[in-house]
Amino acid sequence: MAVVVELERLMPKNFNAKDSITNGTTTDRPTLAAFLVVGGVFLLSGQDALIKVISSELSLWQFQFFRGALNITLLVFCVRIILRRRIPAPRRIWVVSLRSLLMVGAMVCFFAGVPYLSLASMSAGLYVFPLFVVILSSIVLGERVGPRRIAAVFLGFFGTLLVLRPGTDIFTPIALLPVGAGFFYACTLLTTRKLCRDESPITLTMGVGIVVLIMGAIGLCFFTGKNMEGVPVDWPFLMTGWRSVDFWVYGVIIVCSVINIITTGSLAKAYQSAESSWLVPFDYFYLVFATVWGFVIWRYIPDLVTFCGILLITASGIFVAWRQQGKYIG
């Protein structure tokens, strides 16, 4: 309740929740954006844990196809029936398409490693993205990135390295996939801020759903019935097509679709509403949540070094929030 009251105090008097969901933005709301990022990565880490659970039951492309179809269906239902709004058409379809392709590229790279890597290893590989964001936001977007913010990002990245443990068997071709996901994710965030700020979060979410559906269909058509005996690696999740699955798997996919709609929309709104470099440290909380899910589902307890990494990651987000409080809401 206290969080809700604080949010209401910080929001403008003419703030309308429905309009915020369905419309783009022309003003910065960094406090709201920070809450959206933390909530979004909490749900996103839970979704990734569920995907790891079902990764042995179906193929990546099968999962993407079903999730894309469900995302589109659920989004249309929520907007038309619950919010009683129209789904806004994209202002610039090529920009929305570019962002959707980048986002789906990040998803494919990340999920391809799900059956073979721990959540901690996956998230550590993914979280090279803040370095890409800080460098590109300064060079490409012209955003001012102060030394304290840079230091906080590197502090969080050092914590990521403690979780990743370079020099172990994590540096295999599969382990590099989350790093590729980090690059695509950074490009997605910067595209959202620079080119998609006036687009509706619903439009952006719908765009991702459509591309996920198309990508899943292409993968299913390519891999279903294909003989992969000559392939030197054994990646059944990535290199198989249609597989028979149990009924409960579809239930998990539905849950993942609901989570994906919420997180895609909330993260899109967040990066429309504040500088990318301001939000980067809050994204680090994904690592904390991924560790929690790892314990809840697999009873995996991180060792002391991993805990130190998590503490550094958390500290970087808190430090940046404290340093920027006067600038944004003071």
Residues 283-330 have pLDDT tens digits of: 778 888 888 888 888 887 777 877 787 788 777 766 765 555 544 443
Tell me the percentage of the chain whose pLDDT exceeds 90: 23
pLDDT at residue 257 greater than cutoff 80 = yes
Contact 179, 125 (CB under 8 A): yes
57 lies in some domain: yes
- pLDDT (average), residues 149-172: 74
The secondary structure of 138-149 as a DSSP string is HHTS-----HHH
Query: Which residues form the domain of 173?
Result: 30-328
Return the structure tokens found at 45.
Answer: 């880490």
Residue whose C-alpha is closest to residue 223's, from 107, 299, 112:
112
In which band, very low, low, confident or very high, does the pLDDT at 3 lie, cut at 50, 70 and 90?
very low
Return the structure tokens found at 89.
Answer: 């058409």
pTM of the model: 0.77
pLDDT for the residue 49: 93
Give the CA distances from residue 208 to residues 22, 63, 72, 105, 328, in Å, rounded to whole numbers and listed in that order.
Answer: 16, 15, 9, 10, 31
**Better pLDDT: 85 or 173:** 85
Tell me the percentage of the chain whose pLDDT exceeds 70: 82
With H, G, I as helix, E, B as strand and everything else as coil, classify residue 256: helix
pLDDT for the residue 323: 57
Indicate the DSSP class of residue 196: S
10 lies in some domain: no
pLDDT for the residue 27: 67
Contact 138, 195 (CB under 8 A): no
- Residue 167 CB neighbours (<10 A): 7
Q: How far apart are CA 214 and CA 192, in angstroms?
A: 21
Q: Give the CA count within 13 Å in the CB-facing half-sphere of 7.
A: 12
pLDDT at residue 184 greater than cutoff 90 = yes
pLDDT at residue 170 greater than cutoff 60 = no
Q: How far apart are CA 66 and CA 212, in angstroms?
A: 9
Q: In 102-140, which positions are buried (b, 16+ CB within 10 angstroms) versus exposed (e)?
A: bbbbbbbbbbbbbbbbbbbbbbbbbbbbbbbbbebbeee
Q: How far apart are CA 98 and CA 229, in angstroms?
A: 35
Contact 232, 59 (CB under 8 A): no
In which band, very low, low, confident or very high, does the pLDDT at 186 lie, cut at 50, 70 and 90?
confident
Q: How far apart are CA 64 and CA 60, in angstroms?
A: 6
pLDDT for the residue 1: 33
Q: Which of 40-49, 219-228, 308-317 has the lowest mean pLDDT?
A: 308-317
Return the structure tokens found at 8.
Answer: 């209401």
pLDDT at residue 26 greater than cutoff 70 = no
In which band, very low, low, confident or very high, does the pLDDT at 33 lie, cut at 50, 70 and 90?
confident
pLDDT for the residue 187: 92
9 lies in some domain: no
| Residues whose CB falls within 8 Å of the CB of residue 108, separated by 6 or more in sequence, listed in order | 60, 64, 215
| Residues whose CB falls within 8 Å of the CB of residue 228, separated by 6 or more in sequence, listed in order | 239, 240
pLDDT for the residue 175: 75
Amino acid found at 213: L
- CA dihedral angle for residue 299, residue 304, residue 305, residue 309, rounded to 10 degrees: 80
pLDDT for the residue 194: 82
Mean pLDDT taken over the chain: 79
92 lies in some domain: yes
* Radius of gyration, CA atoms only, the chain: 19
Domain total in the chain: 1
In which band, very low, low, confident or very high, does the pLDDT at 99 lie, cut at 50, 70 and 90?
very high
Q: Which residue has the tokens 């709004």?
A: 85
46 lies in some domain: yes
154 lies in some domain: yes
116 lies in some domain: yes
Q: How far apart are CA 110 and CA 128, in angstroms?
A: 13
256 lies in some domain: yes
Contact 28, 274 (CB under 8 A): yes
- pLDDT (average), residues 269-277: 76
Contact 189, 271 (CB under 8 A): yes
- pLDDT (average), residues 239-267: 87
pLDDT at residue 2 greater than cutoff 70 = no
pLDDT at residue 140 greater than cutoff 50 = yes
